[in-house]
């Protein structure tokens, strides 16, 4: 059973471009979480999804950020028109209902 897979591991984007981060949850996991971690800071919750549903997006910036978890395929975190402040590590985690969360290796986004 492969772990949570995130790709790419490193992503460099110029200001104004779009960043697309992918997360494939562990087999059998229906809950996906996205977190952002800035240097020297803790994990900041962004969004919680189940298949085809956004359950809680209270941590997502209102503009430029969106997330989806389609019926087939990975969960996608999309950042449009990236700015320098979006540079961070983005972690995805998946869990079964009520169970422990397993984290991916993260995507380190650098906006230049």
- Residues in touch with other proteins (CB under 8 A): 31, 33, 35, 42-43, 45, 48, 55-56, 91, 93, 95, 97-106
Q: Supply the minimum distance, in Å, between the C-beta of residue 3 and other proteins.
A: 9
* Closest distance of CB 80 from other proteins, Å: 26
* 76 close to 21: Cβ distance less than 8 angstroms: yes
> 């772990």: which residue's tokens?
3
Nearest approach, Cβ of 98 to other proteins (angstroms)? 5
Cα-trace Rg, the chain: 13
Per the rule left: phi > 0, alpha: psi between -120 and 50, beta: everything else, 101 is: beta
Cβ closest to other proteins, residue 17 vs residue 37: 37
The two structure tokens encoding residue 35: 């977190």
Q: Which is nearer to other proteins, 13 or 31 (CB)?
A: 31
């Amino acid at each position: 059973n492969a772990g949570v897979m995130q790709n790419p591991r490193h992503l460099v984007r110029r200001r104004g471009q779009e960043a697309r981060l992918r997360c494939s949850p562990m087999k059998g996991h229906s809950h996906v979480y996205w977190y952002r971690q800035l240097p020297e800071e803790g994990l900041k919750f962004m969004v919680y999804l189940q298949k085809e549903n956004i359950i809680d997006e209270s941590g997502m910036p209102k503009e430029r950020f969106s997330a989806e978890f389609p019926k087939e395929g990975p969960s996608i975190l999309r950042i449009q028109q990236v700015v320098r402040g979006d540079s961070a590590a983005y972690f995805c985690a998946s869990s079964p209902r009520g169970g422990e969360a397993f984290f991916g290796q993260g995507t380190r986004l650098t906006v230049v």
